[in-house]
C-alpha cells in the first residue's frame, strides 16, 4: 500500500491507501428537450471513497430524479460501544480497485432485481469518530418498495463482499480489527 496525501479538493488527512480513482460516476442527464419534464435521464451509479466527513444531504441530492417518488438511504455510523468496551472511533482501510469493482457489481445486481433510477454509495476511509457516518447508500425509484429493498440489499452485500476493513479504537488505548461476520470468506466459529 502507498500513502496518499489528500487535499481539500478530495481529502483532508493522510491515509494509507492503494492508488486508485477515489470517485467514480456513471452517466448523467442527457437533454432531449428544453423543459425538465422532457429531460431523459440515464441511470447513474456514483461511488466514492473519501477520508472526508460524509454528508447525507450531498448523497441524497445525487440520486434525485423528477421521475422518482422515493429516495431511500442507509447511513451507518460509529457507535460508542462494543461488547462492554468504550469505542472512540473506527478506522477503515480498503483495497480500492477491488472495492470499487465489487460495488459496481452490487449496483448492477440491484438493477437486475429492482427498478431503481440512481444509486450512490459513499464510504469513508481513515478515522471515523463516534456518531459520524462511515457509509451512506442512497437509491431512488418511482415507488418506495424498490428503493428500500435496494438499499437493504446494498449494505448487506457490501458487508459480505467488499474488501473494506475496520479497526475499533477503544478508550483504554487498545484496538481490535473487526471481521465482518457477513463476509463470504469468513469461517463460521
Q: Output the pLDDT for position 55.
A: 98
Q: Are 103 and 159 in contact (CB under 8 A)?
A: no
| pLDDT digit string, tens, across residues 30-48 | 444 445 555 578 999 999 9
Torsion of CA 36, 108, 151, 39, to 10 degrees: 0
Consult the annotation and say whether 144 binds a ligand: yes
Domains of the chain: 18-27+39-177 (3.90.1170.40)
Q: Is 25 annotated as a binding residue?
A: no
Answering whether pTM is above 0.85, one says no
48 marked among binding-site residues: no
117 labelled binding-site residue: no
Query: Which percentage of the chain shows pLDDT scores above 90?
Result: 67
Please indicate if the annotation marks 178 as binding a ligand: no
d(CA 62, CA 91): 26
167 is in an annotated binding site: yes
Amino acid at each position: 500500500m502507498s500513502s496518499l496525501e489528500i487535499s481539500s479538493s478530495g481529502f483532508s488527512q493522510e491515509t494509507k491507501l492503494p492508488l486508485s480513482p477515489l470517485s467514480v460516476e456513471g452517466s448523467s442527464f442527457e437533454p432531449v428537450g428544453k423543459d425538465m419534464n422532457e429531460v431523459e435521464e440515464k441511470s447513474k451509479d456514483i461511488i466514492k471513497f473519501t477520508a472526508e466527513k460524509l454528508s447525507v444531504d450531498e448523497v441524497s441530492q445525487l440520486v434525485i430524479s423528477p421521475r422518482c417518488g422515493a429516495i431511500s438511504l442507509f447511513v451507518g455510523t460509529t457507535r460508542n460501544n462494543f461488547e462492554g468496551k468504550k469505542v472512540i472511533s473506527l478506522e477503515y482501510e480498503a483495497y480500492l480497485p477491488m472495492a470499487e469493482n465489487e460495488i459496481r457489481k452490487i449496483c448492477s445486481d440491484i438493477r437486475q432485481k429492482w427498478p431503481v433510477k440512481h444509486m450512490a454509495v459513499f464510504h469513508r476511509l481513515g478515522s471515523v469518530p463516534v456518531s459520524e457516518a462511515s457509509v451512506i447508500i442512497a437509491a431512488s425509484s418511482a415507488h418506495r418498495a424498490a428503493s428500500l429493498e435496494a438499499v437493504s440489499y446494498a449494505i448487506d452485500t457490501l458487508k459480505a463482499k467488499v474488501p473494506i476493513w475496520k479497526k475499533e479504537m477503544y478508550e483504554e488505548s487498545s484496538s481490535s480489527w473487526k471481521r465482518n461476520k457477513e463476509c463470504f470468506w469468513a469461517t463460521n466459529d
